[in-house]
Amino acid sequence: MRVLLWMFASLISFCLLAIGARELSGQVGVFQTLFFRSLIGAGLLFAIICYRGQLKQLKTERLPMHGLRSIFHFGAQYGWFLGIALLPLAEVFALEFTAPFWTAILAAVFLKERLSVQRIVAILAGLLGVFIIVQPGSEIFNPASLIVLAAAVGFAVAFISTKALTSTETPLTILFYMCLLQMPMGLLLAWSDWAAVDGRNMWIIVLISLAALSAHYCLNQALKLADVTLVVTLDFLRLPLIGAVGVIFYQEPFTLALIVGGLCMLLGNIANVYRPRNAKIEP
């Protein structure tokens, strides 16, 4: 139940993040947005840590792992923000949900989590869903879909890195170093195309920063309580919610291919988490 509550808070935060990103598309550069997001996040987290008198959380002996996570997560964010600008919101989220399948594979390799028959079924169903949604070779294929798929792989690496870090680091430490390390990345890449940001867009950037921190904090808490593959599978509930947002606020189509492909992913994920009532739950 605690995992479900943390994941519900996370999916609401991710949806607010997507709405903010859509509102900023074409007005503020992605790298500049990511810089401000990291700057605001690092400042807020530092203030929280100081207020709690927990400066020891600023210490870490795993800086290389933080760096690896930050690099892949930064690249994945960039691809995700581009996808938000170029594709319907529901399609971006649907393609992003290949992350659980990449995560299952990576978790089996690096965290020694068991790649059971159920998880193999989930992976195959997920790949089928991708082919249905993307429709490679057809006239309606959008190359931007490949950007979001690449971002999903980056998020999978970030998930695995987060799971590895939770054994020694607190969620606040993980988030603080993510913002701290991504800040110079965003500044360096945004410098050549820097533009003034008006008041409205700055408020949206603040919303994005707060929603991103909330999403990652809740996700980190869930990862401390459950198997990494189970956590990202529960994250699938974002799809119907963001689909409704796209239809209501942006008049985006909720196509048959998206519905069928999403159902394939959902069925695969249900197969992944289902256990008979009397079955022993793996530790």
Residue type, position 113, single letter:
E
Task: Say whether pLDDT at 169 is over 80.
Answer: yes
On the question of pLDDT at 258 being above 60, the answer is yes
Would you state the pLDDT for residue 254?
73
Least confident span in 28-37, 70-79, 137-146, 185-194: 137-146
Using the predicted structure, report yes or no on whether residue 281 has a pLDDT greater than 50: no
Place of tokens 């690896």: 68
User: Would you say residue 139 has pLDDT above 70?
Assistant: no
23: pLDDT strictly greater than 70 = yes
Mean pLDDT for all residues in the chain:
84
> Residue 28 gets which letter from DSSP?
S
Residue 282 has pLDDT above 70, yes or no: no
Tokens for 91, please give them. 């399609």
> Per-residue DSSP letters for 226-280?
S-HHHHHHHGGGHHHHHHHHHHHHH-----HHHHHHHHHHHHHHHHHH---TTSP
pLDDT at 194 over 50: yes
How confident is the model over 25-43, as a mean pLDDT? Answer: 93
The reported pLDDT for the residue numbered 35 is 96
Output the pLDDT for position 274.
Answer: 60
Among 45-49, 161-165, 216-220, which stretch is predicted with the lowest mean pLDDT? 216-220
**Predicted confidence band at 94 (pLDDT cuts at 50, 70, 90)?**
confident
Residue range 231-260: mean pLDDT, rounded: 80
- Between 249 and 231, where is the model more confident? 249
Q: Which amino acid is at 80?
A: W
pTM here is: 0.83
Higher pLDDT, 229 or 132: 132
pLDDT of amino acid 113: 75
Summarize pLDDT for 49-84 with one digit per residue, the tens: 999 888 888 888 899 999 999 999 999 999 999 999
Q: How far apart are CA 84 and CA 77, in angstroms?
A: 10
